[in-house]
Structure 1
């Protein structure tokens, strides 16, 4: 049986944290909140425990995991080198929603790294996550706490929906603040490369390091032959049960096109969902309209994106039409997740 425990992230009960930490120490699985999304965690050094993560999620084993730490000193244990660029980044952004990829040490089992000689490391800022790692005394390997391919969980109810009965403990620590997984930066080559965009944006990274590049696969349908250095690079992710289509173009034309598409689907008996924004929601008269956030506050869209995708499932819609967003700053991360949720299915609104 899965034990669900509620912990106040503003005043974490240490005896409850210690209970979950003991589960980690003994080879168990604990789902816990971070500032980004909920994770399903195991002792990184316990290969059998880490294997259980892949089984619980139904996750392909060539999809690497992120190791979560509570102290910068732990980086030296997990890597063969802690370069100056990495030190600058962690000084600026840790604890927080940034993952760095470095050359791994021999202490890190290959089960965590999909057989590669690189390791992804992050220090979460969420107080529950930070204390759990600290009290467990080991790095915790933790992908998102959802069934593989489903929208990532930003609330404990999502974890219970997907993983109850598959993990030992679920910590309910309330809603996540960011709502999208961490930015992942590969620091193993001369020029840093963003493998997954997140709340720490390209501009933020460039302010610290100078030249930083985007991985060319970020907004392209993934090549199934690649060996991903970061979670989420290869497989379909974040998908509700409905078919999702992204409608692109000037906003007024996007709204017009979505209304037309929705009417066509309703005529053939489909239940339609529309992912709208504060600026557009009142313009739609058909379908299940859900406001994902405010275009003038893109962080609100990031925070709500996965919750909205799951809400469409609860409403049992057949098809979802989503407005597109700008690709700058955190918009790049939003579109990266939305493209994957849609399986890269796009409709142009130009000329509609």
Structure 2
């Protein structure tokens, strides 16, 4: 089985353009499942082709969401899910998120209920304040697997819960709605690599492994969805992402005020995990990554920057070249070294989050870059998700400054 999963798939990978501005949903479409209006014929044609692939074959499709590009296959089809793992070289005990276009689709396709007296009956009360305010959007919730579930057990890694969300990106929503199929979709990259935020990133990693990629431009959020578990007490934030911990606590109602953040740093070899991103190496460029993590109440900035320069000089002495990704503190002229490449991730947490994966990929693909040094940020707001990804990218090669 493992050998079959790791075999390379042979496709002539097509990139199909789609215009997100031409896709229009009603205000209640994410509840009642009404289909979108698509004003651009090329966009409609390309979406219908991708939808047929999801619905009628075992193949997979690369497509944009507001977070990162996803690699999608039917959540109801074992062969499609196996092809996701196969294309990514992803371990099969790493669960997948099922993306739906509406609560109606959740009820019909996953719970097998064609009509419901209460359309929200499969959304536990604890989630309703969050889903009312944050769906469609980068919020993933855990639900109990139905007794008579249509879901492939490969999406859940054979666990009693499954992860689900309604994306806000109109291309993703339209693809799921037109196929009328819940779509299992991890990030559309080779496993362990930085997540893709452009169609070109997907093509770079998965060319020849998947039949088509929908190109809808850059992803707006830039990191994966926030994953929460309201089935435990107190509720848990399992993965920081597109919505901050502060937003979850403030919008979730009284039961979410005491929401804890899952802070497990390592997962044992045989341990099951409830959400993607908790196990195995993630988000890593080919070059070594060293993360500078800011410390509260530390020395004056000038002294801290001298220490940073010393660390970079020591590590970069015997390499062909290095890159420095700065954020809010490092100056542009941190080191006068011709072997160094400098890029600024942004001037705000939101901008840094949106640019993070794209810049890691950009400098990693430059010739002769052996080490990437990254300036981290405080773990407030979007900083929690940014630092979560950077610690994993650095494999915990972290230097305090």
TM tier relative to shorter chain = over 0.9
Aligned position for 1:50? 81
Aligned position for 2:341? 288
Q: Which runs of 5+ in 2 are unaligned?
A: 1-11, 24-42, 112-120
Moved more, 23-32 or 74-83: 74-83
Q: 2:66 aligns with which of 35, 40, 43?
A: 35
Aligned position for 1:206? 249
Q: Deviations over 1:59-96 (max 9, x none)?
A: 00000000000001233353694211122211010000
Distance 1:252 1:150 in 2: 34
Query: In 2 relative to 1, CA 46–196 (structure 1 residues): closer, same or farther, beyond 3 Å?
Result: same
Q: 1:336 aligns with which of 376, 388, 391?
A: 388
Q: 1:99 aligns with which of 131, 136, 140?
A: 140
Moved more, 101-110 or 256-265: 256-265
Aligned position for 2:379? 327
Distance 2:217 2:302 in 1: 36
Aligned position for 2:125? 84
- For the 8 Å contact 1:33–1:173, the answer to whether it is kept is yes
**C-alpha RMSD over aligned residues:** 1.7
- For the 8 Å contact 1:270–1:319, the answer to whether it is kept is no
Q: How many Å apart are 1:252 and its aligned residue?
A: 4.3
Q: Which runs of 5+ in 1 are unaligned?
A: none
Distance 2:379 2:205 in 1: 30
- For the 8 Å contact 2:68–2:224, the answer to whether it is kept is yes
Distance 2:311 2:173 in 1: 46
Aligned position for 1:148? 191
Moved more, 20-29 or 38-47: 20-29
Distance 1:185 1:14 in 2: 34
Moved more, 318-327 or 149-158: 318-327
- For the 8 Å contact 1:247–1:254, the answer to whether it is kept is no
- For the 8 Å contact 1:254–1:323, the answer to whether it is kept is no
Q: Deviations over 1:238-276 (max 9, x none)?
A: 000111111233554443223222222343244121111
Moved more, 86-95 or 261-270: 261-270
Q: Deviations over 1:251-310 (max 9, x none)?
A: 54443223222222343244121111254232313311111111xx20100001101111
Aligned position for 2:4? none
Q: How many Å apart are 1:180 and its aligned residue?
A: 0.3
Larger radius of gyration: 2
Tell me, yes or no, if structure 1 residue 298 matches structure 2 residue 349.
yes
Tell me, yes or no, if structure 1 residue 189 matches structure 2 residue 232.
yes
- For the 8 Å contact 1:76–1:82, the answer to whether it is kept is no
- With normalisation by structure 1, the TM-score equals 0.94
Matched residue of 1:281: which SS? coil
Query: In 2 relative to 1, CA 202–266 (structure 1 residues): closer, same or farther, beyond 3 Å?
Result: closer
- With normalisation by structure 2, the TM-score equals 0.82
Matched residue of 2:90: which SS? coil
How many residues matched?
Answer: 345
Query: In 2 relative to 1, CA 29–274 (structure 1 residues): closer, same or farther, beyond 3 Å?
Result: same
Q: How many Å apart are 1:22 and its aligned residue?
A: 0.5
Residue correspondence of structure 1 range 146-295 to structure 2 within 5 A: 146-207=189-250, 208-209=252-253, 210-217=257-264, 220-248=265-293, 249=295, 250=298, 252-277=302-327, 279-285=329-335, 286=337, 287-294=340-347
